[in-house]
Amino acid sequence: MRTTMIVPALVAGLLASGCANVNPYYDDAKPHHRRDGFVNNYPSNPAYRRPQAGFVEGWAARIRNWTSDGSERLPLAPIPTVAPDLDFIHANAAEPALTWIGHASFLFQTGNGLNILTDPVFEERASPLSFAGPKRHQPPGLALSQLPRIDAILISHSHYDHLSQASLRALYRQKGGAPLLVAPLGVDVWLEQNVTDGDRSRIVRLDWWDKTSLRGHEIQLLPVMHWSARTPWDRNATLWGAYAVTRPGFSFFFSGDLGYSRDIQDIAARFEGFDLAAIGIGAYQPVWYRNSHVSPGEAVRIHRELRVRRSVGMHWGTFPMGQERLDQAPRDLADARREQGVADDAFFVMKIGETYRPQR
């Protein structure tokens, strides 16, 4: 579709959703709170800072990216996929297991009877428009109809490749009752308005370091370096974060989106390591993306500093969010493991649709 057709539709949609930002959870005792939203704990890396661009230039660049054919980002080989093991997934209630749906969407089965989804996005595009924006490279590894009943959904932040209205509305209306929706401050308001039709009974909002409990599991929102937005007018109006899910005998870390920062040392100081982690390894080119995402080398550093037994690389191979090829991240991850002395089976990538069982 021609750019001249996309621009008016994009502007109209964004104007319709734009509004003045007021942080309903503002607390002047918390340094990361602002009256109009939130900020990171630590300054961004000056080596990664993007040259300043104005409103028009910034959105023009996005539109050029969205309307390109994407050939420069195509994978050199097919992205590995596998048919999901539905028999195991639907029968499993006693074994920790992680199934990659694609991008940052996982089914995490805790091994204690709980089914958790992370950042579920099942749509064709990660975009406010149905006909433009980052397009899914292959179908989800699990379809919505193939999921077991979901007990909880963890939402890391408001970007379109992590927060999908259509997916969440479908999941909220699943057979057997709505899942618990766990979200950072401000995203809960969006959920109330766009997913639950005003019902807050199944929404849990968390600030950094806040916890909630669910059937013997502790879910905690953790501070990381990133940002949020759904429109050009709501940047950082809602909070973002990573998650820790812990129970006696097992712990899981989900990075969401993050740039490398001292937050990692802060998290490491509060935990005695993790049994399993899903850490983003994609969308790290051009270099200024790396105040919002991590390179595979930085992801391996996070794996080491958080003392993770087994890590899975995510945020690659599904939506073309960075300028690198869709399959570049696993190759760079292999180099980073060698450089940092990490075993191949300690930090690896999965096939889309694959289930990893860490205690086998």
Q: Give the model confidence (pLDDT) of 255-294 as tens digits.
A: 999 999 999 999 999 999 999 999 999 999 999 899 999 9
- The fraction of the chain above a pLDDT of 90, given in percent, is 82
d(CA 278, CA 312): 5
Q: Residue 54's pLDDT is what?
A: 55
Q: Which domains occur in the chain, in start order?
A: 3-39+52-356 (3.60.15.10)
d(CA 40, CA 343): 32
Per-residue pLDDT reduced to its tens digit, 210-239: 999 999 999 999 999 999 999 989 999 999
d(CA 109, CA 94): 9
- The fraction of the chain above a pLDDT of 70, given in percent, is 89
Residue 101, phi-psi category: left (phi > 0), alpha (psi -120 to 50), beta (remainder): alpha
Helices (H), the chain: 3-17, 55-67, 86-91, 165-172, 187-194, 263-270, 296-305, 328-340
Mean pLDDT in residue range 300-305: 98
Torsion of CA 318, 323, 324, 330, to 10 degrees: -40
Residue in the block written with tokens 């740039």: 259
| Region of poorest pLDDT, from 4-13, 226-235, 336-345 | 4-13
Residue in the block written with tokens 């649709």: 353
For residue 10, CA distances in Å to 68, 125, 224 come to: 16, 14, 30
Token pair recorded at residue 137 = 């490279």
Mean pLDDT in residue range 307-317: 98
Q: Residue 133's pLDDT is what?
A: 83
Per-residue pLDDT reduced to its tens digit, 15-54: 444 456 899 999 999 999 999 999 999 999 999 987 655 5
Question: b/e per residue, 159-198, with b = 16+ CB within 10 A?
Answer: bbbbbbbebbebbbeeeeebbbbbbbbbbbbbbbeebbee
- Name the DSSP class of 283: -
Token pair recorded at residue 92 = 């499993």
Q: Please answer whether residues 210 and 243 qualify as being in contact, where contact means their C-beta atoms are separated by less than 8 angstroms.
A: no
Residues 47-52: contacts with CB under 8 Å, at least 24 apart: 47/287, 48/259, 48/287, 48/288, 48/289, 48/290, 48/291, 49/288, 49/291, 50/288, 50/291, 51/288
- Averaged pLDDT score across all residues of the chain: 92
Burial class (CB in 10 A: 0-12, 13-18, 19+), 135: middle
Cross-strand bridge partners of residue 100 = 106
H helix or E strand, kind and range, residue 109: strand 105-110
Of 68 and 37, the one with more pLDDT: 37
Give pTM, 2 decimals. Answer: 0.92
Per-residue pLDDT reduced to its tens digit, 72-119: 889 999 999 999 999 999 999 999 999 999 999 999 999 999 999 999
Q: Residue 58's pLDDT is what?
A: 55
d(CA 289, CA 287): 5
d(CA 337, CA 297): 8
Residue 300, pLDDT above cutoff 60: yes
Q: Residue 123's pLDDT is what?
A: 95
| Region of poorest pLDDT, from 56-65, 176-185, 292-301 | 56-65
Mean pLDDT in residue range 59-63: 61
Residue 175, pLDDT above cutoff 60: yes
What is the number of other CB atoms lying within 10 angstroms of the CB of residue 250?
17
Per-residue pLDDT reduced to its tens digit, 116-169: 999 999 999 998 887 888 899 999 999 999 999 999 999 999 999 999 999 999
Burial class (CB in 10 A: 0-12, 13-18, 19+), 6: middle
User: Minimal CA–CA distance to 244: which of 191, 208, 280?
Assistant: 208
